Structure 1
Amino acid sequence: MVAASIATAVSAQAAAGCQVGYEVTGAWQGGFTANIKIKNLGDAVNGWRLGWTFTAGQAITQPWGFTASPTSGTVVATNVDYNRSIPTNATIDVGFNGSWNNSTNPAPTTFTLNGTTCTGGVSPTPPPTTPPTTPPTTPPSSAPTVAADGSGQYRTVQAAIDAVPVNNTQRVTITIKAGTYRQVVRVPGNKPHITLRGLGSGPANTVLVFNNSAYTHGTSGSASVFVDGANFVAENLTISNDFDENLASSGHQAVALNLNADRAVLRNVRLLGDQDTFLVNDRTRAYMVDSYVEGTVDFVFGGGTIVIDRSTVHEKRSSGGTITAASTDAAKTYGFLFYRSTITGTGSNNTNLGRPWRQGAQVLYRESNLGGTVKTNQPWTNMGDATWQNARFLEYRNTGSGAAVNSTRPQLSDAQAATYTPHRYLAGTDGWNPL
């Protein structure tokens, strides 16, 4: 029915050899669960891309610990934290659910590590004697799982984070079953390489939420989730602050995510709040993709650097508001980039693209669709003594009914646009490339 194999080789890439172990750990009608172990036998490599070839009819349906493109045929699986160094003799484990539609389910062939083929002998091992009848919904490995109903190793997300060893060097993926988890969550700076991954069918099924506000905690202290650990990843979940600013006599900020981590990735994530939903702190570089963020005033703010790619940004107040309040240091080239994203809102022609929390603020909307909620004339505004004219507010090739080119909407030239790409925003001095 199914088989597992091991391939070994010495690779010329980075003077490194690689060993790939493949094991089927469960099977059912039309599907299977498999585990892949990647061992670096040579010099340290800076991240990994694992390749293999599936027989026709085989495909990945649910990966754990990597992204795959394509998911069938000649597969390329990429580490979610691609630039993390893999030392000599270090092993990375990834697993997945797969599908197959033939009478047998052979092991994949032609394993590669970072494009170099791992050749060697194949030694099959038998499939499990009592395979499951349905696919598992959580990784069949030691990855900690959170479930409010007690069916996981932990009942709260914080308990799973607390169990991660201090100064861990390997990625720890914490899977979170569908449900609502009402607790302040903190990922401390001495716990890098943590992934929080929702296991529901979409990000709305797994919700991390609390309702602190600036009234009692100050703006930066009001967050539902605080992230200080570098190389953080969040996938397929919602982070929300459900404090209602309208209940107070005057509005109070209430942060959903306080991100103070370098090299963070948010993928298929929803950030929900009112005023000041998403704080991107000065030390942060982050990549947010295929996601959603909403609020009323300044709901993406701070002095960090972020690329928001293929995402929806929603002004939820019918009277409009201001989307960004960047405080980019004047010495820093890059601040906020909204790239290939969609700006929506409930109001019409009354939403500002941003205002400068600090005079050096840098914000660019590039190749995005700006809906009718955006002011067509002067969509930038002042903040205290900081004026939008002296900030670094820019647009480039936007479309939609809220897009326009006029004297109140500074535009990049084609020549300038070459230096304002997602790669340039995120590369820093270490060449980080999570795209």
Structure 2
Amino acid sequence: MNTTPGTGRHRRRAKGLAIGLPLAVVAAGSMAYGGAFGLFGEDSRPRAAAAAPAWATEAADGFASVNALGQNGTYGGRGGRTVTVRTLADLEKYATAPEPYVIVVAAAITVQPVGKEIRVASDKTIVGAGTSGHIVGGGFFLGRGVHNVIIRNLTIRDSYQGVWNDKEHDFDAVQMDGAHHVWIDHNDLRRTADGLIDVRKDSTYVTVSWNRLSQANKAFGIGWTTNVKTDITVHHNWIRETEQRNPSTDNAAHAHLYNNYLQDEPGTAVTSSYGNYARGRTRMVLENSYFEGLRNPVTRDATAALVQRGNAFSRTSGRNESGGTAFDPKAYYAYTLDRTADVPAVVKAGAGPRGSIGTTTAAGTAATAAGGAAAGTMAAGGAAAGAATTLTVAKDGSGRYTSVQKAVDAVPAGNTARVVISIAPGTYRETVRIPANKRHVTLQGSGSSRRDTVIVYGNASGTPRPDGSGTYGTGGSATVAVEADDVQLRNLTVRNDFDEARNQHVDGHQAVALRTAADKIVIDGLIVDGDQDTLLLDTAAKERLGRVYVRNSYVSGNVDFVFGRATAVIDQSVLTLKKRWNGTSAGYVTAPSTAAGRRGLLINRSVIEGDVTPGSFFLGRPWHAGGDASLDPQTTVRDSRLSAAIRTKPWTDMGGFSWKGDRFAEYANTGPGAAGAGTTDRPELTPVQAADQEVADWLAGWRPTTS
């Protein structure tokens, strides 16, 4: 938005979703296409498709994705029946069954006897329903020959028997002896009697990603035979307050560890003995990981090969070793490294169970263990369950459409059922607009990473329109514009790459990457990248409600890069501060333009940081669009980590309006940028006030889904 006073714009507010509450279950069915070219026009090829939630179709990355031993990657129970379990008996029944299953754990299941490891057969996905799936007092065991297993989005905890270095109780969270093609992802593993994860006895083609491992003597052991057979990928895990095996890798043929965050916090009862350890004849590649406070962060035997690249070490001591020749991971699979400096924030924000995983099932396949039918009702605020359609986009012509906008254009006006537009990996240089009459649309990248599918363009507010009708204006500059209700964007990068340095002659450098101007918008797993005015969270009109739920996403910019009048929650995300085009550091994270009587912007359980000058960024300023004194802008930042880039007085005035006359506050933030809260210049909510400023209060009865 403009940095000069008095420049007009619009924005607004509403209510919502309880923190940690599993997302509503929505059933998604299939719809056949009619006519010679189907319902979606002559640019499509008729094809029936059934939309399943993304988590139900996702396959592993890393070594678990490699085709070997007769197994084509790791995809778990995909294609089998989906069942929901809430008891130990039902969990064991389906986990040990010979046929494939997607097993959704929707409760805290206590394992009896304590320490029992539930045996898992091949072709299974065991997934927690949002954050509600807990395995208490036990774990899982994958025996020799078991393959194609996914253990995901669970909290596995509390088999600890009171002895710190327990030699008697082999109670692990996940143990595998001779298994292959296993993916352990987005779990929270803590307080076990023995190791949190044991990959033993020549288990191979394993990927362990995005987990939190904590509060245990032994975190993660790999190997334990004289054979050199195990191939394993370990990435984006947060390992903290564990003494040893972080991990310990013994006689692994190929061990690729990258973008992990190992942390030993000072002043706690646990002190690390060592971090990553290459033992025996292991060949290890260790890349872009972040070690904080550990003793002996990287250790290797003289017989092991350990190659280090790009790692960071903060407050570490003791052994930090490398040597020998290992291997090139890219000879086995593709992967993308996060910047090392970003790893603590990225991993803290992204590791562990996610509210959007395990909470949506495909119509006609879901059943509860008690024999209940698949959900067939309408989700709160969503399209009718069932009758979802998938349209595919690919630049190489392998999809129905070669551009995203062509697929959007093919959605019938007034559609009443979910249409998923699945976009193949690639860079799509185009602008995309979803008009108000095309609701219930999902734009979803089909790659393994949100970086794989990129929608990018470079218009700015002052860019002339090609038809000579003036300039685009701020809202019109958006690379992707969402004007329809109940739209979802997932697993994508949306970018505005307007080059300010080369366009100093342009009057108006506001360059929006993503604009929303509708109600019940879900932004899940996105990168939204720009500079000035990156993310515009708007409403269709001043008097209209517009709720937006952003989670597990990355938003970057410098000037007012999250702004608007919508009622918006940014949850469990990373806001990255960027320098301006000329290399200077100065900026504003938010610029709300909230209508009186509504809620504005809520940043919750997130991280705000970037490679900028300390003390150079404000958290926000009030935008009274068009000088409208009736507006009551609101930003609340709570339960988040603030870097030193945030000013000690983080709020400032704008356009002649004082921030003190509007609603700006913090609650329970941490990090160097949080120092000084609770003063006149830095309001801190009381616990009573904070209880009225949670996610549920923002979204007002709407439970976002990820169908």
Matched with 2:635 is 363
Matched with 2:426 is 179
5 Å-filtered alignment, 1:208-223, equals 208-215=455-462, 216-223=471-478
5 Å-filtered alignment, 1:19-418, equals 31=75, 33-34=78-79, 51=84, 54-56=94-96, 72-73=125-126, 76=129, 99=149, 112=367, 117-118=371-372, 143-215=390-462, 216-249=471-504, 252-282=509-539, 283-317=545-579, 318-332=584-598, 334-345=599-610, 346-358=612-624, 360-376=632-648, 378-404=649-675, 405=677, 406-418=679-691
Percent identity between the two aligned chains: 41
- Are the aligned partners of 2:78 and 2:101 in contact in 1 as well (CA < 8 Å)? no
Q: Greater Rg, structure 1 or structure 2?
A: 2
- Pairwise CA RMSD of aligned residues? 3.4
Deviation (angstroms), 1:111: 5.2
Gaps of 5+ in 1: 1-17, 38-49, 62-66, 79-97, 103-109, 121-140
TM-score by length of 1: 0.72
Higher relative contact order (Cα pairs below 8 Å, separated by 6+ residues):
2
Change (3 A) 1:77 1:167: farther
- Are the aligned partners of 1:299 and 1:324 in contact in 2 as well (CA < 8 Å)? yes
Deviation (angstroms), 1:28: 5.8
Change (3 A) 1:150 1:111: closer
- Are the aligned partners of 1:111 and 1:117 in contact in 2 as well (CA < 8 Å)? no
Change (3 A) 1:399 1:185: same
TM-score by length of 2: 0.45
Query: Per-residue displacement from partner, 1:139-197 (whole Å, max 9, x unpaired)?
Result: xx962110001111110001111111111111111111110001110111111111111
- Are the aligned partners of 1:51 and 1:75 in contact in 2 as well (CA < 8 Å)? no
Query: Per-residue displacement from partner, 1:4-27 (whole Å, max 9, x unpaired)?
Result: xxxxxxxxxxxxxx9x9999x9x9
- Give the aligned residue type for 2:565: G
Query: Per-residue displacement from partner, 1:72-117 (whole Å, max 9, x unpaired)?
Result: 4476489xxxxxxxxxxxxxxxxxxx74879xxxxxxx9546x974
Matched with 2:34 is none
* CA distance in structure 1 between the partners assigned to 2:372 and 2:553 by the alignment: 36
Aligned residues: 347
- Give the aligned residue type for 1:206: T
Change (3 A) 1:196 1:35: farther
- Are the aligned partners of 2:645 and 2:673 in contact in 1 as well (CA < 8 Å)? yes
Gaps of 5+ in 2: 1-26, 31-49, 58-69, 86-90, 108-123, 132-147, 151-178, 181-364, 375-387, 463-470, 540-544, 625-630
* CA distance in structure 2 between the partners assigned to 1:371 and 1:293 by the alignment: 15
- Are the aligned partners of 1:210 and 1:224 in contact in 2 as well (CA < 8 Å)? yes
Change (3 A) 1:159 1:361: same
* CA distance in structure 2 between the partners assigned to 1:231 and 1:270 by the alignment: 20
Deviation (angstroms), 1:319: 1.2
- Are the aligned partners of 1:60 and 1:99 in contact in 2 as well (CA < 8 Å)? no
Matched with 1:46 is none
Change (3 A) 1:168 1:320: same
- Are the aligned partners of 1:236 and 1:268 in contact in 2 as well (CA < 8 Å)? yes
Give yes or no for the alignment of 1:434 onto 2:467: no
Query: Per-residue displacement from partner, 1:375-412 (whole Å, max 9, x unpaired)?
Result: 01x11111111111111001000000000222211111
**Tell me, what secondary structure is at the counterpart of 1:420?**
coil
Deviation (angstroms), 1:258: 1.0
